Amino acid sequence: MRTKVAIIGGGPSGLLLGQLLMKRGIDNVILERRTRAHVLGRIRAGVLEVGFVELMHQAGVSARMQREGFIHDGIEIAHGERMFRIDFQKLVRRPVVVYGQTEVTRDLYAARDEAGGETIHEAEDVAIHGADGDAPYVTFTKDGEKCRLDCEFIAGCDGFHGASRPTIPANLRREYEKAYPFGWMGVLSETPPANRELIYSCSEHGFALCSMRRENLSRYYVQCPLSDSPDDWPDDRFWDELKRRLPAPVAERLVTGPSIEKSIAPLRSFVSEPMQWGRLFLCGDASHIVPPTGAKGLNTAASDVHYLHSALGAWYDRGDEAELAGYSARALSRIWKAERFSWWMTNLLHRFPEQSGFDLKIQAAELDYLANSTAAQKALAENYVGLPY
Ligand code: FAS
Ligand code: PHB
């Protein structure tokens, strides 16, 4: 088998890159470890920056998102009983779009099918060879048969636990990590959202987030100990705890119902540098992770894809390799600002086990300053809607 670009990973990064390359006439093959059903069964991100939305337009897969996505012009921040709105339109004149990652992935798979893109699911034992030379290739096992895919470039879009990042020699990699002492217990329920826009709540009992997917499909999270499992959170306990962490008027109108999905995600900040080695280029979670507080995970994957698609296009269109050479530095510049914002939002809104009385006073002052300062709110807004690519 041969292709121009071998893409490892059929999540949002791999699928979006594959679609953009196909639109540009650059042949590519996606190798995905799991089944399509497994990939589409993941419940993850829900908020898209304008840059992501524009990439979906460019990829020709935005029709359903335009029909079914919600345009949000702000978010609410709650601190105890106090709640104030960050008005994106007034502050930065840009919105975000609420449209689940699951739907993004579904739309990208449908477009790839229509364009006749090759995706090999259940590709096992993926291994990268010759990435630091001019003739890289990928080996993998499919239905027990050993296979080889020769290519000109490899895009490592295989997430945090993938095979791509470890291919870069350890002595060339610099990894930066911060693990948070709590996780997010997430619930999906077929109930109307508690609020028209998202509510991020910092309460004395811990963090909570009210989000949504559709008119009658809500997504909620509460901060929980890392030692917890979903079994520790029967629905009644989840709803009681969520209400405890929301301002009374919101708690009173909250419509509860049976959970149709329940999971706990640990929170981590992580960056691996560089994002390229020879003809291997990393995108998305393969290279970096953020705590979901700032809704940046999926959105930083999108800006990586934008930069790599542009660089590969410059190479194949006119033999220009400057963007390829500068890919890692360009992507990391935006990634580190998203890491900072996600770290800041996480510290602003969560209860940390070792917080002292002084720490709590500083957190309260930070929230009070945010509630009353247009400058502080503008800084949050421009990061939340997405810094320029
Ligand atoms: P992904 O991990 O999505 O996709 C990688 C793909 O590669 C997977 O399909 C995997 O099966 C495949 N793969 C892995 N190893 C392979 C191998 N060796 N060979 C072939 N294929 C391989 N972000 C937000 O913005 N908001 C959120 O609320 C949010 N919640 C999250 C909850 C959880 C539990 C997790 C894990 C992440 C969450 N994220 C959230 C971040 C998430 O949305 C990621 O940023 C996004 O999935 C990144 O997409 P990819 O880079 O494509 O990585
Ligand atoms: C979600 O809807 O899943 C979501 C929204 C915003 C976040 C994190 C998760 O910051």
Whether 296 is catalytic: yes
Q: What is the atom index within ligand 2 of the atom nearest the CA of 295?
A: 10
Instruction: Tell how far the Cα of 190 is from the centroid of ligand 2, in angstroms.
Output: 17
**E strand or H helix at 208, and its extent?**
strand 206-214
pLDDT band at 313 (very low <50, low <70, confident <90, very high): very high
Whether 292 is catalytic: yes
Quick: pLDDT tens for 55-68: 999 999 999 999 99
Same fold, 5-72+100-177+268-345 and 181-267+350-385: no
Residue 218's pLDDT is 97
Residue 150's pLDDT is 98
Mean pLDDT over 219-228 rounds to 97
State whether residue 260 is helix, strand or coil: strand
Q: What is the atom index within ligand 1 of the atom nearest the CA of 123?
A: 20
Name the catalytic one among 262, 288, 296, 306. Answer: 296
Whether 200 is catalytic: yes
Name the catalytic one among 137, 200, 220, 327. Answer: 200
Task: State the pairing for strand pair 276-277/206-214.
Answer: unpaired
Residue 184's pLDDT is 98
- The torsion angle over the Cα atoms of residues 302, 308, 310 and 314, rounded to 10 degrees, is -170
Quick: pLDDT tens for 143-202: 999 999 999 999 999 999 999 999 999 999 999 999 999 999 999 999 999 999 999 999
Domain 181-267+350-385, CATH class in plain words:
alpha beta
Instruction: Tell how far the Cα of 11 is from the centroid of ligand 1, in angstroms.
Output: 6
**Structure tokens given for 193:** 């959202």
CATH architecture of 5-72+100-177+268-345: 3-Layer(bba) Sandwich (3.50)
Quick: pLDDT tens for 107-141: 999 999 999 999 999 999 999 999 999 999 999 99
Instruction: Tell how far the Cα of 285 is from the centroid of ligand 1, in angstroms.
Output: 6
- pTM summary value: 0.96
Burial of 297-333, coded b for 16+ CB within 10 Å and e otherwise, reads: bbbbbbbbbbbbbbbbbebbeeeeeebbeebbebbbe
What proportion of the chain, given as a percentage, has pLDDT over 70? 100
Whether 221 is catalytic: no
Instruction: Tell how far the Cα of 328 is from the centroid of ligand 1, in angstroms.
Output: 20
Give me the residue spans of the domains in the chain. 5-72+100-177+268-345, 181-267+350-385
Ligand with an atom nearest the CA of residue 290: 1
For the residues of 53-90, what is the DSSP string, one character each?
HHHHHHTT--HHHHHHPEEE-EEEEEETTEEEEEEHHH
> Which residue, by CA, sits nearest to atom 4 of ligand 2?
46
Report the residue among 104, 211, 263, 383 best suited for mutation to probe ligand 2: largest number of ligand atoms under 8 A from its CB. 211
Whether 79 is catalytic: no
Report the residue among 42, 43, 44, 47 best suited for mutation to probe ligand 2: largest number of ligand atoms under 8 A from its CB. 47
Residue 61's pLDDT is 97
Ligand with an atom nearest the CA of residue 265: 1
Ligand with an atom nearest the CA of residue 283: 1
Interatomic CA distance for residues 143 and 262, integer angstroms: 32
Instruction: Tell how far the Cα of 155 is from the centroid of ligand 1, in angstroms.
Output: 15
Residue 376's pLDDT is 98
Q: What is the atom index within ligand 2 of the atom nearest the CA of 211?
A: 2
